[in-house]
């Protein structure tokens, strides 16, 4: 336990844990029970789909205890789902400042920055996740995406490969590895990754398109045309407005 998790009772001076409600020495009430009640009520509202009610409870809670880690994180997540990325990031920042080893807070902060298009700060947040837990597979995948979009292909490749070592079912990692190999002119390696990404999604248009480009680059124009036909057929088979 670090010193940041400790404080002294104002009545008797005994050192208490931050989470203690009462001083074990003199019985002084250390925390407002309404804070815990509001957090519980917010969690119930969030679980039941009443996001506005959950948001109101959390906002009231944070006026009482501005540094509450879970309240900042949960309210940040509600803002994130509403598309309020700046507000979400601000609350996630408060959560991880109060609890520097709160790995989910760092991860969600990275995701918020990623969706804002701020790849350097997203990378920074995901690096903090990996410093806490080097085997955090979702952080490896997310940092790889951020590095990929920021043009750092070699390091992105390393993290995509690590994410697949930890979680082999991340098929989109194979797709992005294929793109990286394609950009480097490593066509056979690119083709292998695109083919793997198609194993569970035989109609994936992006993988079919890029695999066609690879086959063209290798001189196999008949295979390339067949892949483009498959991509067109799949696109036509999708309902209007389908994503």
Neighbours of 72 (CB within 10 A): 27
| Domain edges within the chain | 1-31, 170-238
User: % helix / strand / coil in the chain, to the nearest 5?
Assistant: 70, 5, 25
Q: Is the pLDDT of residue 48 over 50?
A: yes
- Within 13 A of 90's CA, how many CA atoms are on the CB side? 6
Beta bridge partner(s), residue 22: 29
* DSSP sequence for 90-122: HHHHHHHHH-TT-HHHHHHHHHHHHHHT-HHHH
If we measure between CA atoms, which residue out of 177, 137, 139 comes closest to residue 158? Answer: 177
Question: Has this prediction a pTM greater than 0.85?
Answer: no
Q: Is the pLDDT of residue 38 over 60?
A: no
Q: Is the pLDDT of residue 56 over 60?
A: yes
Element (H, E) at 134: none
State how far the Cα of 180 lies from the Cα of 52, in Å rounded to an integer.
43
Beta bridge partner(s), residue 8: 15
Percent of the chain whose predicted confidence (pLDDT) is above 70? 77
The pLDDT value recorded for residue 170 is 85
**What are the pLDDT digits (tens) for 4-28?**
445 566 667 777 665 565 566 665 5
Average model confidence (pLDDT) for the chain? Answer: 83
CA dihedral for 112, 118, 123, 124, sign (positive or negative) = negative
Tokens 């490593």 correspond to: 186
The answer to whether the CB of 89 falls within 8 A of the CB of 113 is yes
Percent of the chain whose predicted confidence (pLDDT) is above 90? 55
State how far the Cα of 223 lies from the Cα of 216, in Å rounded to an integer.
8
- How confident is residue 44, by pLDDT bands cut at 50, 70 and 90? low
Report residue 31 as tokens.
């925390």
CA dihedral for 88, 127, 184, 201, sign (positive or negative) = negative
CA 93 to chain centre: 14
CATH, domain 170-238, list 1.10.3720.10, 3.30.450.40, 1.25.40.10, 1.20.950.20: 1.25.40.10
**What are the pLDDT digits (tens) for 197-229?**
888 764 588 899 999 999 999 999 999 999 999
**End-to-end CA separation in angstroms for the chain:** 48
The answer to whether the CB of 243 falls within 8 A of the CB of 237 is no
- Within 13 A of 92's CA, how many CA atoms are on the CB side? 25
């Amino acid at each position: 336990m670090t010193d940041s998790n400790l404080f002294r009772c104002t009545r008797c001076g005994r050192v208490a844990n931050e989470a203690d409600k009462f001083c074990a020495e003199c019985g002084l009430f250390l925390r407002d029970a309404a804070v815990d009640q509001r957090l519980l009520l917010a969690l119930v509202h969030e679980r039941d789909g009443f996001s506005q009610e959950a948001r109101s409870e959390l906002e009231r809670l944070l006026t009482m205890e501005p540094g509450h880690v879970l309240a900042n994180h949960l309210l940040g997540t509600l803002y994130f789902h509403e598309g309020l990325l700046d507000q979400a990031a601000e609350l996630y920042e408060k959560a991880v400042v109060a609890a520097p080893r709160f790995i989910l807070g760092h991860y969600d902060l990275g995701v918020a920055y990623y969706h804002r298009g701020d790849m350097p700060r997203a990378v920074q947040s995901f690096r903090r996740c990996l410093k806490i837990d080097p085997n955090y597979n979702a952080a490896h995948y997310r940092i790889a995406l951020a590095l990929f979009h920021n043009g750092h292909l070699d390091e992105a490749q390393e993290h995509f490969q690590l994410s697949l070592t930890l979680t082999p079912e991340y098929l989109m990692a194979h797709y992005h590895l294929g793109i990286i190999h394609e950009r480097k002119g490593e066509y056979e390696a690119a083709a292998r990754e695109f083919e793997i990404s198609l194993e569970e999604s035989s109609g994936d248009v992006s993988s079919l398109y890029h695999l066609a480009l690879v086959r063209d680059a290798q001189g196999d124009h008949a295979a390339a045309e067949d892949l483009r036909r498959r991509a067109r057929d799949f696109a036509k088979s999708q309902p209007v407005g389908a994503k």
